[in-house]
Amino acid sequence: MSRNRVPAGSDEEPNTTPDKPARRRFLQSAAAATAVGVAPHVRAQSQPDVVTPPAQPRAPEPPRPVTLNINGRPYTLQLEPRVTLLDALREYAGLMGTKKGCDRGQCGACTVLIEGRRVNSCLTLAVMHEGETITTVEGLASSGALSPIQRAFIEHDAFQCGYCTPGQLCSATALLNEFQSGTASTVTADVRTRPPQLSDDEIRERMSGNICRCGAYANIVAAVRTVHGGDSGNA
72-119 tens-digit pLDDT = 999 999 999 999 999 999 999 999 999 999 999 999 999 999 999 999
Rounded percentage of the chain residues whose pLDDT exceeds 90 = 64
**pLDDT score at 49:** 66
| Domain boundaries of the chain, sorted by first residue | 64-138, 140-229
Q: Is the pTM of this model over 0.95?
A: no
CATH 1.10.150.120 fits 140-229, yes or no: yes
pLDDT at 24 over 80: no
Cα–Cα distance measured from residue 169 to residue 147, given in angstroms and rounded to the nearest whole number: 10
Helix/strand/coil percent split, the chain, to 5: 40, 10, 50
224 φ/ψ angles, rounded to the nearest 5 degrees: -65, -40
Q: What is the mean pLDDT of residues 54-71?
A: 90
**pLDDT score at 26:** 72
**pLDDT score at 227:** 97
Higher-confidence residue: 20 or 42?
20
> Residue 234 — pLDDT band, cuts 50, 70, 90?
very low
> Could you say which of 3.40.50.2300, 3.10.450.30, 3.10.20.30, 3.30.420.40 is the CATH number of the domain covering 64-138?
3.10.20.30
Q: Is 47 exposed, middle or buried (0-12, 13-18, 19+ CB in 10 A)?
A: exposed
pLDDT at 70 over 60: yes
151-195 tens-digit pLDDT = 999 999 999 999 999 999 999 999 999 999 999 898 898 888 878
**pLDDT score at 197:** 86
